[in-house]
Amino acid sequence: MQVLSRFTKDLLEKPANLSTASKYTAMNGLIYLSGGALLVVWPGLTQTLLMDRPFVGDEEGLIRVAGLTVLVIGWFYLFGGRSGARQVVAASVVNRLTFVPLLVPLAIAGVFPHLLLSFACLDAVLAVGAWWLSVEPFEG
């Protein structure tokens, strides 16, 4: 029981003074957690909100897997932001401005176009926000 208690304490621990960039990264994590959970529970969201075509074959399952992936990314952003480590913010910016844009060619090819384009755009905008918040003002 003591092991579980220590594990929970470690999971919920956060520094007293989080930077704005860390708080922003944690907030991004909540956005991704929510969006991913929504796709897992309701994959038809892509047709309802994004007006994508009806699913063919196992596409509903693929949307759920994409949702789970986004949920896990959100989990790491939430706890990475809560850790207060500047490296987490910087790493998330690099990741979101280099790897996520690779979704755009898939969207152009017609593979879940609206979902992937929406995610790529949202992620890039949030990454620029994290980058902007993580840059310390010039002191000279």
Mean pLDDT of 130-140: 73
Q: Tell which residue, 133, 130, 105, has the closest CA to residue 120.
A: 105
**Domain spans in the chain, listed from the N-terminal domain onward:** 17-134
Question: Hey, what are 37's tokens?
Answer: 């959970």
Residues 61/95, Cβ–Cβ less than 8 Å = no
Residue 69: count other Cβ atoms within 10 Å of its Cβ: 14
CB 24 within 8 A of CB 31: no
pTM of the model: 0.86
Can you tell me the distance from the alpha carbon of 77 to that of 29, in angstroms, rounded to the nearest whole number? Answer: 4
CB 43 within 8 A of CB 65: no
Query: pLDDT digits over 71-122, tens only?
Result: 999 999 999 999 999 999 999 999 999 998 988 888 888 877 788 899 999 9
